[in-house]
Amino acid sequence: MKNKIVSAVVLSSLMIFTSACGNTEESAENTAQEKHTTEYSQASSQDSTSAVTSEIQPPQEKAGDTMKMTVNGKDFEIVLEDNASAAALKELMPLTLEMSELNGNEKYNYLDTELPSASVKVGKINEGDIMLYGNNCLVVFYESFSTPYSYTKIGHISDTTELADTLGKGGVTVSFGADEVSYTAKDLRDLSDFLHGKTAEDLTGKPYDLNGDNSWDVLDLCMMRKKLLK
């Protein structure tokens, strides 16, 4: 009888020990699995962030999202980026700057106003790029080259013909302003027909909101007529 009791105690102890070992191993395995899952999730999150960043780097052009740069009487159209930096710069228009020469490939000016910035390593500068260095240095590039520096993209000059020659090799006065939109008799007729509910033509994206109130109305029609008469 005594031997049976001892055997039962030993068997019970072995079962408890085995169960404890099993729980310890399972706990360790779960901990390792959780750690691996966390690290993988973080890595995936970083990869996802990098992918999104690379996807949003190319310029996103929108109808009417432009401004004008004038140098020595010659106008250049700038297609703006769809970001807070470009929008803030446009708020400062009209703007005339004395821009300094640097490295034989750019003109720059430190603005009195700081702009929103989201600098990235652009890798390559293209002729005609308009960039923000830091949060207040506006740069106009007139040559293409590789760079290790970080910039916030503002926009790009759509036609760089004679850009380098017009900017010259020294300091230069550069004016920035809203790009004036030219209207035709057809634009006037289309807007009039729209306001009278007579048109079936798709006018999406047309710059007919002349007074900036986010709607087309009779005031826009009057302002367009006035511009057309000029």
- Which domains does the chain carry? 66-178 (2.40.100.20), 185-229 (no CATH)
Percentage, residues of the chain above pLDDT 90: 50
Confidence of residue 206 (pLDDT cuts 50, 70, 90): confident
> For residue 20, is pLDDT > 70?
no
Confidence of residue 141 (pLDDT cuts 50, 70, 90): very high
Q: With beta carbons less than 8 A apart as the criterion, state whether 59 and 164 touch.
A: no
Confidence of residue 146 (pLDDT cuts 50, 70, 90): very high
Rounded to 5°, angle at Cα 93 from 56 and 153: 20
Helix (H, G, I), strand (E, B) or coil at 11: helix
Note the pLDDT of residue 180. 65
Query: What tens digit of pLDDT does each residue of 37-77 get?
Result: 333 234 333 333 333 333 333 333 343 488 999 999 898 98
Q: Which two tokens stand for residue 1?
A: 């009888």
Q: Which two tokens stand for residue 79?
A: 């297609």
Query: What tens digit of pLDDT does each residue of 2-12 get?
Result: 444 444 444 44
Element (H, E) at 223: helix 218-229
What pTM was computed for the model?
Answer: 0.55
Give the residue with greater pLDDT, 28 vs 143. Answer: 143
Handedness of CA 117, 75, 157, 97 (dihedral sign): negative
Note the pLDDT of residue 110. 98
Note the pLDDT of residue 179. 67
User: Quick one: which of 105, 94, 88, 104 has its CA closest to 142?
Assistant: 105
- 165 burial level (CB within 10 Å; 0-12, 13-18, 19+): exposed
**C-alpha 28 chain-centroid distance:** 46
Q: With beta carbons less than 8 A apart as the criterion, state whether 183 and 151 touch.
A: no
Q: With beta carbons less than 8 A apart as the criterion, state whether 179 and 90 touch.
A: no
Query: What tens digit of pLDDT does each residue of 94-119 get?
Result: 899 999 999 999 999 999 999 999 99
SS3 content of the chain, % helix, strand, coil (to 5): 40, 25, 35
Mean pLDDT check: name the lowest of 102-111, 126-135, 196-205: 196-205
Note the pLDDT of residue 213. 74
Element (H, E) at 2: helix 2-55
